[in-house]
């Protein structure tokens, strides 16, 4: 099931929807920093819609330092398990194919800023 705010990320912002593990690996493995948005089930998790609004704002706050994609339901469980991101919604961060870290569930804005800055700084080491 999709949500209009998640659909907007795809249709309005042009974020790809990753439907296979190979597509997710290719996206995360491209040069640069990337965030995979694991939305969870919007019908059961009211935080999903909030995360769909927060992530574009977070990307803007970091001056587009990372690109984003939506993880489709078809591979969501596999990716969450592979990266130990067991709670949704989640943002999974990568650089050049290397998993850097995640932010799970809804947080305070300052927490998003500090966690994202920390995760992206790991990419520079």
The CATH number of whichever domain residue 32 belongs to comes to 3.40.30.10
Write out the residue range of the structural domain in which residue 96 sits. Answer: 4-122
> Which residues, at least 6 apart from 104, have a Cβ–Cβ distance to it below 8 Å?
85, 86, 87, 88, 89, 90
Q: Which pTM value belongs to this model?
A: 0.94
The pLDDT value given to residue 69:
98
Show the low-confidence residues of the chain (pLDDT under 50): 125
Count of domains forming the chain: 1
pLDDT of residue 81: 92
- DSSP reduced 3-state for 28: helix
Do the beta carbons of residue 55 and residue 11 sit within 8 Å? no
């Amino acid at each position: 099931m999709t949500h209009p705010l998640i659909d907007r990320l795809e249709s309005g912002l042009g974020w790809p929807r990753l439907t296979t593990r190979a597509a997710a690996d290719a996206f995360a493995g491209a040069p640069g920093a990337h965030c995979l948005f694991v939305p969870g089930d919007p019908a059961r998790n009211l935080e999903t819609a909030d995360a769909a609004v927060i992530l574009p704002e977070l990307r803007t706050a970091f001056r587009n330092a990372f690109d984003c994609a939506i993880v489709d339901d078809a591979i969501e469980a596999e990716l969450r398990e592979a990266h130990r991101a067991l709670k949704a919604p989640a943002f999974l961060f990568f650089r050049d194919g290397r998993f850097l870290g995640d932010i799970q569930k809804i947080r305070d804005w300052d927490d998003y800023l500090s966690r994202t800055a920390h995760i992206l700084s790991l990419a520079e080491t």
